[in-house]
Structure 1
């Protein structure tokens, strides 16, 4: 068995410096006075609530309703998101389209289709309409059923997905504006799609 080597003078000096700098966890057993605490810093100001935008606006006595817009804590509907999108077409034409005074030149009904079946059908329809020189088409998605059984699901998957598909390639270069349809053309269950020339 090999003999243990003792500490050299340098190692003993180093160890004594480390031992002097150590602060005991339980100073009761120590006779030296505890080191002075570090000066206290001013407490930082409390951060603003992260979700301040989600708080409801102040309600005053006599007020009959909350201002328009999505309810606090509720995600905006696809129609509300599209209404906030920047306008990329003539203002007067857009106003007439929103009011249902423009008649769509073609329509695609995606009712009852799965997302996998609807996506290629939408691409084919939009590209063929643009190739034929049409400007305003109607895409019907349906509003979605509210009852999906015991598991929570988002109703109207097509209603939420179609605007996204219209804003990404290959359709983003062909589509100029997407807007929720007027109630006479399907309301929240349909979209006007205004195509580029």
Structure 2
């Protein structure tokens, strides 16, 4: 077993280390260490006949272009408590409202997306989305109480990355505006085109 050869520090590395040592303040009770140059050891001479042949260079594949990472959608934020109280008391009016009662899921999704974009373009701050509470299932509770497909789906749609460009946040409406069957939705300001 052969011993590990010690690496020889180049003059450039030694100069860099000296600058680093000069810029560091020693701990209390310690002295600054001086960088001492190491004698450069000459590599052993190897006869030309024993030198290894250079391996043929392989052409490496071109570096892969970094795949563009989609920007992370902004996080959702609930209404401020003061705004919620003012909405419940009627001090601040809801800017717009949409009622999705009786619509199929695909139709409700299209109308909601169109409504939110229109509300954003119109400068609305808070809108009311009425989903309805849904009917209790008549079959019993074999799979649990099933209530309101739209009531469950609309929050998922509002949380989607596509909707986050329009929606700041949402939460269940106050009983004055429909309670569990409606949502207050905060609308993001439209990006100004310059």
Taking structure 2 as the reference length, what is the TM-score of the superposition? Answer: 0.51
For 2:110, the equivalent position in structure 1 comes to 120
- Residue matched to 2:169: 177
Structure 2: 5+ residue stretches without partners = 1-74, 190-194
What corresponds to 1:129 in structure 2? 119
In the TM superposition, residue 88 of structure 1 has moved relative to its aligned partner by 5.2
**Compared with structure 1, are the counterparts of its residues 94 and 176 closer, same or farther at alpha carbon in structure 2 (3 Å cutoff)?**
farther
Task: Tell me how far 1:147 sits from its aligned partner.
Answer: 2.6
CA distance in 2, matches of 1:88, 1:184: 18
* Contact kept in structure 1, 2:173 and 2:180, CA below 8 Å: yes
Where do 5+ consecutive residues of structure 1 fail to align?
1-84
SS of the equivalent of 1:194 reads strand
**Equivalent residue for 1:186?**
178
Number of residue equivalences: 113
Question: Is 1:162 the equivalent of 2:154?
Answer: yes
Instruction: Report Cα offsets for 1:56-105 as digits up to 9, x if no partner.
Output: xxxxxxxxxxxxxxxxxxxxxxxxxxxxx974555532443366643211
**RMSD, matched Cα:** 2.4
- Contact between 1:98 and 1:180, CA under 8 Å: does it hold in 2? no
- Superposition pairs of residues 19-98 of structure 1, within 5 angstroms: 87=77, 90-97=80-87
**The residue matched to 1:188 in structure 2 has which SS?**
helix
- Once the two structures are superposed, residues 25-75 of structure 1 have per-residue CA deviations (whole angstroms, 9 ceiling, x without a partner) of xxxxxxxxxxxxxxxxxxxxxxxxxxxxxxxxxxxxxxxxxxxxxxxxxxx
Displaced runs of 4+ in structure 1, greater than 6 A?
none
Pair 1:195–1:86, CA change in 2 (3 A): closer
Report the equivalent of 1:44: none
Give yes or no for contact 1:108–1:125 (8 Å, CA) kept in 2.
yes
Residue of structure 1 in register with 2:135 after alignment = 145
Q: Using the alignment, how far apart are the partners of 2:163 and 2:174 within structure 1? A: 23
Q: TM-score, normalised by structure 1?
A: 0.51
- 3-state DSSP of counterpart to 1:166: helix
